[in-house]
Amino acid sequence: MTNLFDLTGRTALITGGSRGLGREMALAFADAGASVVIASRKIEACEEVAGLIRSQGGVAHALAVHAGKWDEVERLFERAYAVAGRIDILVNNAGMSPAVPSHNVSEELFDKVVALNFKGPFRLAALVGERMARDGGGAIINISSGASWKAMPRVIPYAGAKAALNAMTISMAQEYGPNVRVNAIAAGPFLTDISKAWSEEQRESAPNAVDRPGRPEEIVTTALYLASPASSFVSGTIIRCDGALR
């Protein structure tokens, strides 16, 4: 049977691609045949993942970006097309979710959270989506969160930004269709770097139907599905990958 997740000949740009869920997606896309552009703030971390992909016979590029800054996102767009030639898959994965009581959130922190989780992804998706539409099509995947729909105190700016990302996903699917598909993954708790600050109980159990956090590699099949022809009739959708959060 033909591999529905085959990404041979495609190029993927992944922000926040040097660690956590982004790293897992970068490695999985490369394993499926895609060339990968890995972007995050720390170029050394990007180079490490790109080097791993190259050592396994794949094609990878590393680019530095602060994904919450409009001008840096524009430069990333230009540089990604310069080194890769085209972008067929965009994964807006970079984000931050500081847990702070709402009355202690400063304007500076509020702006940083919204910029990284919504403003930057909006600008990059708009630039890439318009170019994809002209180039014949592509897939955009926005990494959202269960906080976008489930009441979670202490992360309200983050939750609001991710809810905006969901709305953007649905609207951009209409704006850049029919040949550009735009979807989102609403991720639940995953055992990424952020989990190092969790209690032992939080690392072992979670308020979901499977009673545990996800392993980072468990994001992979959902991302591959949305990036590949396997989801050719799926657009404007937010898919929950959270173990059925309660």
Please report how the helices 70-84 and 120-135 are oriented relative to each other, as an axis angle in degrees rounded to 10: 30
Question: What is d(CA 58, CA 29) in angstroms, rounded to the nearest whole number?
Answer: 10
Q: Which two tokens stand for residue 38?
A: 């890995």
Q: Which of 79, 220, 225 is nearest to 139 (CA)?
A: 225
**DSSP one-letter code for 214:** B
Helix/strand/coil for 206:
coil
Q: Which two tokens stand for residue 198?
A: 């969790």
Q: How many residues are recorded in the chain?
A: 246
**DSSP one-letter code for 116:** I
Q: Is 158 annotated as catalytic?
A: yes
**Residues in Cβ contact with 47 at an 8 Å cutoff, skipping those fewer than 6 apart:** 62
Q: Which of 185, 187, 204 is nearest to 195 (CA)?
A: 204
Query: Which helix (H) or strand (E) segment is 53 a member of?
Result: helix 43-55
Which string of DSSP letters, residue by residue, matches 135-178? HT-EEEEEEEEGGGTS--TT-HHHHHHHHHHHHHHHHHHHHHTT
Options 81, 158, 176, 225, the catalytic residue: 158
Phi/psi of residue 168, nearest 5 degrees: -60, -45
Q: Which residues are marked as active site?
A: 158
